[in-house]
Each structure stands twice: as structure tokens, then as C-alpha cells.
A and B are shown apart, each in its own frame.
Chain A
Amino acid sequence: MTDPKTPQTPADLSDAELDALFGAAADAAPIPSGDVLARILADADALQPAAPGLVVPAQDPAQDPAAPFGRIMGYLAEALGGWRGATGLAGVAAVGLMIGISPPMALDSLAATYLGTGEVYLSDFVAGGEFLIDG
């Protein structure tokens, strides 16, 4: 008969119990925030080699309100709460893609109005990105 005062060493977890813990951990992986995704894509834009046949403009068009492209970017930045907000929103849109939801309707209509497209990409919004135009 076991002495109730004697401390007992608990039995080790079984393989099945460990597998249950591993499974819970696999299901609970955190997702990168929209801000992180936006930073990753901004890094990618900054480091991407230029495509053959395309010319990088000498001046950042977003800084020149007279240029049509700069004017469009200005409208977008203002509508989306500044460049910081715009890059964050683009990151969140990427998260939305990842979990299978559509980008916000307002963003769609903004893009359609100013860019003439229903698609929204980070390169449309990121300040200081490598905006490439036909030479």
C-alpha cells in the first residue's frame, strides 16, 4: 500500500499527449502584423533590381505636386491618412489576402478612380518606393 505522505513522481507525458501539445502549437502560430508585412514589402521594393527596359525617374514624383503621378499619390496619401497610414493599410490588405477576405470597398473605388484599376498593390502607395514608368 502506498504511503500517502510519500511524494509520487508524476508519470511522464505520453507521445500522444505531447503530440496534442505540438498540434495546439501548430494551430496557434501568430500571423505577422500588417505593419510588418508593409515593412517587408517596402524592403522588397527598395532592394529590387530594376526590370530591363524600365527607367527609374530621377525625381520622386510624390514630391512634385505638378506631376500627374505625384498628384494622384498625394490624393491617395491624404485619403488614407498619410504615408504611414497608407503603408500600414497596404500591409493590412496583404493580411486580408492571406486570410481570404477582400480588400475594403473604399480602397477598391479609390484605386479605380485614381489608378483606373480594381487591383491594389503596395507599390501603388509606398512613399519612396521604386516607381517604375515606361521610359
Chain B
Amino acid sequence: MALDAMNEVSDDALLVMYAQGDEHAAQALTVRLAPRVMAQAYRMLGDRAEAEDVTQDAMMRLWKIAPEWRQGEAKVTTWLYRVVANLCTDRLRKPRGAALDAVPEPQDDAASAAEVLQTRSREAALADALASLTERQRQAVVLRHIEGMSNPEIAEIMDTGVEAVESLTARAKRHLARVLAPRRAELGFEDD
């Protein structure tokens, strides 16, 4: 099947096709999933190079599990987010150097210089604040408020209950609101 024709094929169907030797299924899955994996890893780790390593590692685990995957039993993205969460947790528990590129380059060339600076300032402030959360609070708030996932899905990824997720995200938001308060002017909120 050509790559273009795979846009409507579900993730788990593509994974089964990959396991059956389809030559384009891996490309379709990579284009579809690698950016999401990378985004989650980057928000957890705050370091681009480490996030790329986690992305490759997580996708490697996906290729390995493919022959055993049973279509319709689980969501590929849920499984993958859980793998990423665990890989990130492992890395966060090891001694780490300071992130050299904690803030990605702005992607909108049309934005004014002031808007770019404002955006970068907000990204940097949020990254700092996220780093001050516990691992599980960070995971929950990133999945809920940045990835936009539902609480039941996050509960499955984090292997916990929905109420626990609600508690984690609520505490995380309170903490973020408090630690970011002194930076309100820097974040440009007083002019909003």
C-alpha cells in the first residue's frame, strides 16, 4: 500500500501490516507517531537530545512488540505514551547534566520579534516550573493540559486511577500557578 493511502488506516492496523512485512507501514507509523513521542519526551525531560534518544528507543520497542500485537485490544498511542513515560522516568532518576537547549527555536517566521521573545519567555518559564514538579505530577499535567488527553487515558498510561490523575493535575496546577506568579510581568500577562 502506498504511503498516501495509509492516512486513513488505524495505528494498530498499520502495526499489524508492519509485522506482516508491509514495506511502507513503518514510514506511516513513524511520520504519525514519532513527533508525538518526541513532544512528550521533550516536555518530560526538557532536553532535545535526550528526547530524541527516548523517541528512537520507544519506536524501537514498538517495532519489537509488533509481531505480538493484537489488533483492537489496546491503543497503540496509549501503549507508546506509557513506554515514553517509563523511559523518561528512568532518565530523570539518573544524574543528569543541565539541558543546553531547553527551549526550541521558534517555528513561526511570521511572528514579530516581540512575539517570539514573549513565546520563548513563556516556554522557558513553563519548562522551569515543570521541572520543579514531582515526576508524576509533571507527567499528569503534561498529558492532560499540553497533550490534551482525557483523564481515563492518562490513568491507563500512568497505571493509576482517574481520581489519582485528577489529584495529581490539580496539585500540579496549584504549584505551577504559585511558582510562576513572581514571573507574571516577564510572561506578559499584565498587558493581556
Binding site for B on A (CB under 8 A): 9-15, 17-22, 24-26, 28-33, 36-37, 39-41, 43-45, 47-52, 54, 94, 97-98, 119, 121-123, 132
Contacts and interface: CB of A to CB of B under 8 A. Distances in A.
A30 B146 CA distance: 13
13 contacts: A12-B177, A17-B189, A18-B176, A25-B43, A30-B38, A33-B52, A40-B34, A43-B56, A44-B63, A47-B66, A48-B66, A49-B21, A98-B31
Nearest to B147: A26
Interface residues of B, number: 56
A48 B19 CA distance: 6
Contact of A25 (B26, B38, B126): B126
A-B CB proximity, top 5 nearest:
A51-B21, A44-B26, A29-B39, A12-B177, A10-B181
B20 A49 contact: yes
Contacts of A132: 21, 23
A51 B22 contact: yes
A132 B35 CA distance: 28
A44 B59 contact: yes
Contacts, number: 148
Contacts of A26: 146-148
Interface of B: 2-3, 18-24, 26-27, 29-31, 34-35, 38-39, 42-43, 48, 51-52, 55-56, 59-60, 63-64, 66-67, 104, 106-107, 119, 122-123, 125-127, 145-148, 173-174, 176-178, 180-182, 184, 187, 189, 192
Contacts of A14: 177
Contacts of A13: 176-177, 180-181, 184, 189
A5 B22 CA distance: 71
Given A40-B34, A41-B27, 5 more contacts: A11-B184, A13-B177, A25-B122, A25-B123, A32-B38
B123 A48 contact: no
A15 B176 CA distance: 10
Given A12-B181, A18-B173, A49-B21, A32 B52 contact: yes
B23 A50 contact: no
Contact of A28 (B2, B107, B192): B107
A49 B99 CA distance: 38
Contacts of A40: 30, 34, 55-56, 59-60
B184 A54 contact: no
